[in-house]
Amino acid sequence: MKAMILAAGFGVRMRPLTRLRPKPLFPVLNRPIIDILIRQLKKAGCEAVIVNTHHLASLVSDHVAEQDYGIGVRCRFEPVILGTGGGIKNAEDFWDTRPFIVINSDILSDIDIHDAYRFHLTHDDPATLILHDFPEFNNVWVERSDRIIGFHQSGGAGCASEPFRKLAFTGIQIVDPDILDFIPEGTFSSSIDAYDAMLAKGLKLRGHIVNGHYWQDMGSIRGYRRGVRDLLLQRCLIPDIIPEQKETCCGKNLVMGEKSRLRGWNLIGDNLTCEKDCIVSRSIIWDNVLIREGVAVKDSIVADEAIVSAPASGKVIV
C-alpha cells in the first residue's frame, strides 16, 4: 500500500515557532513528528510514502533525504498551497489502483492503521475515515451502521435513515483512487469537499470507529506541548516506534551549572547550557539554547538559538 502525509500548511497556529521550523520537524522525544508518522506507516504495511510540502519546504525535503526509513519516501513541493484535497490530486501520478492512506502531519496517536486498512478492504465504499468520540471536534454525522452522512454543524442529519451521532475525524483516512474524480485539478480544495461531492452523487462513505486509544492534535502550541508531555509521562505508548520513554529526554551536550537542575518532565534538545542556579521544569527546549544565571523556565517552549535571561512561565520564547 501507499500513503500520503499532508504537511503543506503554514503552521499558523504554531507561530512563532513555525518561523524557525516547519511543523513536521518539531521535535517529539528528540525526533521529528514526521519520522514517527513514517515509521508508523511502515509498520502498517506501507511500501511508499509521499509528503506534500510548502512552508520551509527545503528543510523537510532535506531531512527526509538524509533518513533511511526502509521504504521509499519522497516529497512533493506545492508552490501554492492546494489544501488536503488538492494535495491528494497533485500526487495523482503517485497512486496506483489500490486504496491508499492519507494522514495529517500533526497527529500523535497509537491508532492501529493496519487494522483500519484491513477494515476498508472488507467493504465496497470508496472511503473509510477513522473516527472517534472527541467532543471538541465532533462534526461528522454517522448513522449507527457507521455510514457517514455528512459533515460540519448542519451536516446530513435530515438525510439520516436511522439514529445518528456526531463523531470526530482523526485525520487518518483510507481512500480508493475514485476520490481523484471528485477533486478539481490545480486549485485549492479540501478532502471534505470531495466527500460532500461523493455523497451528493449517491456514493457511500464508511467510518471506522476506534476507542481505547491515544490521540492528540499537535497542530497548536497547546496540543504540541500536551503531546510531548504525554509521551514523556507514558500516557501515550508507541513501543515499536519509540522504544525508550522516560520523564526527561535529553539530547547531546547538556551543561548544567552549579545548583542548576531539571524538575518534572522535560524535553531537552542538543547543546543546552544552563548557568548557575537555573531551574527547568515541565518545558520543551530545542537546540542551542542558553539559560542565564538564576533564571527559572517553567511550562514553556524555548526554540533554537534562544538566550533566556529573565524568568519564564507559560511562555514561548524564540
What average pLDDT does the chain have?
Answer: 91
Q: Spell out the long-range contacts of 65-70 with Cβ–Cβ below 8 A and sequence spacing 24 or more.
A: 67/35, 67/38, 69/35, 69/38, 69/39, 69/42, 70/42
The domain segmentation of the chain, as residue ranges, is 2-232, 248-317
pLDDT > 90? residue 235: no
pLDDT > 70? residue 304: yes
Q: What is the pLDDT of residues 209-234, one digit of tens each?
A: 999 999 999 999 999 999 999 999 98
In this prediction, residue 114 carries a pLDDT of: 95
Q: What is the pLDDT of residues 33-71, one digit of tens each?
A: 999 999 999 999 999 999 999 999 999 999 999 999 999
pTM of the predicted protein model: 0.90
Beta bridge partners of 128: 174, 206
pLDDT > 80? residue 241: no
For residue 240, name the pLDDT band (cuts at 50, 70, 90): confident
The conformation of residue 302, written as its DSSP 8-state character, comes to E
Whether residue 26 contacts residue 17, with contact meaning beta carbons closer than 8 Å, is answered with: yes
Whether residue 226 contacts residue 265, with contact meaning beta carbons closer than 8 Å, is answered with: no
Q: What does the alpha-carbon distance between residue 194 and residue 52 come to, in Å, rounded to a whole number?
A: 18
Whether residue 34 contacts residue 64, with contact meaning beta carbons closer than 8 Å, is answered with: yes
In this prediction, residue 161 carries a pLDDT of: 57
For residue 159, name the pLDDT band (cuts at 50, 70, 90): low
Q: What does the alpha-carbon distance between residue 179 and residue 187 come to, in Å, rounded to a whole number?
A: 15
Whether residue 141 contacts residue 160, with contact meaning beta carbons closer than 8 Å, is answered with: yes
For residue 156, name the pLDDT band (cuts at 50, 70, 90): low
For residue 247, name the pLDDT band (cuts at 50, 70, 90): confident
In this prediction, residue 11 carries a pLDDT of: 79
Q: Spell out the long-range contacts of 143-148 with Cβ–Cβ below 8 A and sequence spacing 24 or more.
A: 146/206, 146/207, 146/208, 146/209, 147/204, 147/205, 147/206, 147/207, 148/195, 148/199, 148/204, 148/205, 148/206, 148/207
Q: Name the CATH superfamily for 2-232.
A: Spore Coat Polysaccharide Biosynthesis Protein SpsA; Chain A (3.90.550.10)
pLDDT > 80? residue 154: no
Q: What does the alpha-carbon distance between residue 99 and residue 124 come to, in Å, rounded to a whole number?
A: 11
Residue 62 CB coordination number (10 Å): 11
Whether residue 2 contacts residue 98, with contact meaning beta carbons closer than 8 Å, is answered with: yes
Q: Which CATH number is associated with domain 248-317?
A: 2.160.10.10
Give the Å distances, CA to CA, from 274 to 51, 270, 282. Answer: 37, 12, 15
Q: What does the alpha-carbon distance between residue 94 and residue 88 come to, in Å, rounded to a whole number?
A: 9
Q: Which of 40-44, 72-76, 142-146 has the lowest mean pLDDT?
A: 142-146
Whether residue 166 contacts residue 87, with contact meaning beta carbons closer than 8 Å, is answered with: no
Q: What does the alpha-carbon distance between residue 21 and residue 27 come to, in Å, rounded to a whole number?
A: 10
Task: Count helices and strands (H / E) in the chain.
Answer: 6, 24
